[in-house]
A and B are shown apart, each in its own frame.
Chain A
Amino acid sequence: MKAKASAEDFAEAAKRHLDDVHAFLVYLTGDRAVAEDLTAETFARALERWHRYDPSRGGARTWLCQVARSAALDHFRAEDRRRRREGRYAVAELRESAEPVFGEGLSPALERALAQLSAAEREVVALRIVLELDGEGAARVLGISTTACSTRLSRALAKLEKEVSAGVAA
């Protein structure tokens, strides 16, 4: 029988998984400010939908990451529409920040290499490496098969390593 997800459960899940959700969104968006907004948005959405969460179908962290990804995709779509609308007369915004984005203490080469990856590549790295989700959980968040998830991770890491090596050599 499905256990009811109670208010206490939500508070506990929010407290326990806030860092993971935030880290995932930082990797996915590549922007601290946006990730911060989306993290708050994710937990607001999760609070609304908490009654839909079924613990028998996966952990709260996986479910929260799914909600976070959905929020991020909505944000990307809105940004994409905005850019297309404004693209005719506005130059693409260039983000230049001296502060590290993906984590404090990362080497500049790795920071730059992560920035070179696409959001699709960074999200799989975040889920499997940073959050240490298992293949099944990560695949569920991404909506793909475990095999596809492994392949995507392998390619992303290879590309990341290549970018790091190129950065160090430069």
Chain B
Amino acid sequence: MSPLELVDGRFDKLATELRASRPAVPEGLRNRVEELARVEPEPRREWGFRLPPRRVAFALVALAIIGSFIAAGVTGLGGSKPNRDAVGGPVAGKTPVPESAQGLEKPAGVPYQRRLDKDSLVPQATRLQRYDATLRLRVKDVDALSNATKRAMNLTRGLGGYVASVEYSTRSGRRGGATLVLRVPIVNVQTALAELTSLGTILRQQTAILDVTRRAERESRQLDKLEAELAQIKAELAAGSVPTERRLQLERQAVADRLAVKTLKAKRARLVRSARLARIVLTLTTPTEQAAASPGRFDETLDDAGAVLAREGEILLYALVVLGPLLAIGGVAIAAGKAQRRRSDRRLLERT
């Protein structure tokens, strides 16, 4: 398609004349250029700033991504340690863990009391507090699971508490688990936890304390107020000189107050009871076959690598937030500079 067809058919004659009378290149110039063309062009530079910037940018981004993955992998491998809690035979180079008379595992080189002191929260005797603890332990096998379950129940009763619920199950005689919800007097909760953690290897331990002293005090004040109000109503009714309408109103008020007192007392009793007994959810499991066959080093490595990647992501985000506006300003300045240059060129060409 002729370029002119895109513009206007009226200019065909003009275009034909212009094309037919192109300026000829002088011979001298042709010779100069041909001589120049015989010179070897400058070779492509492999290094330096003359590399295509877009490709360099892509390469840098790719390198950064690969680098971050390598760093994450190296950190993951270096940071993760062999699973000390692995069951299923002694690990090479490690001292085998001795077993107790009941066939239960002893803590793997970590004193439980020390871990408890560090990790668990201690309830205060002078305060009214709700204490919740979750404990997940691993025992050696199904026999150990049965023994540990029995010991946990006996221990709870021995400490003045009770077993709220027990779920016990085994599969194929080799694997199993038990979940016990234990209520232990709060004064004995530290002893209970220390004893329970000795039943197996700690997989997870979580404790939470909620102070309900103020709530109990508030409810007590409400109760006192209601009882005082009831006493006043009773005294007024006993006086005898109360008009019928007022008497009916007072009686209705007395009924409502009595109901509120009853509800509040029950609520308060529940609160005190919940603060008197700590709730401990104890989960006992046998090792899975996969875990017994191979320790979770790979999982740990993955976790560590993931954490490193997440951290890198955070740093990248931070850098973007900080550098983003500066880059945007720089980009706008460059674009404005280019536009200015184009305008200047155009003015120059229009003047010429």
A binding-site residues for B, Cβ under 8 Å:
4-7, 10-11, 14-15, 18-19, 22-23, 26, 28-30, 32, 35-36, 39-40, 43-44, 47-52, 54, 73, 76-77, 80, 101-107, 110, 118-120, 123, 125, 128-130, 132-135, 143, 150, 153-154, 157, 160-161, 164
Asked if A26 and B23 sit within 8 Å, CB to CB, the answer is yes
Asked if A154 and B8 sit within 8 Å, CB to CB, the answer is yes
**Chain A interface main SS type:** helix
A-B contact pairs, 20 of them (CB 8 A): A7-B41, A10-B41, A18-B30, A22-B29, A29-B352, A43-B36, A44-B36, A47-B41, A52-B50, A54-B52, A80-B351, A103-B21, A118-B350, A118-B352, A119-B349, A120-B350, A129-B15, A132-B2, A154-B7, A154-B8
Interface size class of B (residues with CB under 8 A): 35 or more
Residue B26 lies at the interface, judged by CB distance under 8 Å to chain A: yes
- For B13, give the chain A residue with the smallest CB separation: A161
Chain A contacts for B7, CB-based, 8 A: 128, 150, 153-154, 157
B binding-site residues for A, Cβ under 8 Å:
2-4, 6-8, 10-11, 14-15, 17-26, 29-30, 32-34, 36-45, 50, 52, 342, 345-346, 348-352
Given known A-B contacts A4-B44, A51-B41, A76-B352, A15 and B34 have beta carbons under 8 A apart: yes
**Chain B interface main SS type:** helix
Q: Which 3 A-B pairs have the closest CB atoms?
A: A103-B21, A120-B349, A50-B41
Asked if B33 and A39 sit within 8 Å, CB to CB, the answer is yes
In angstroms, how far is the closest chain B Cβ from the Cβ of A149? Answer: 10
Cα of A132 to Cα of B19 in the assembled complex, Å = 9
Asked if A130 and B19 sit within 8 Å, CB to CB, the answer is yes
Other A-B pairs beyond A6-B41, A102-B18, 12, CB < 8 Å = A5-B41, A10-B37, A11-B37, A22-B23, A39-B29, A43-B33, A52-B50, A54-B52, A76-B349, A106-B17, A119-B349, A161-B10
Partner of A40, one of B18, B29, B42: B29
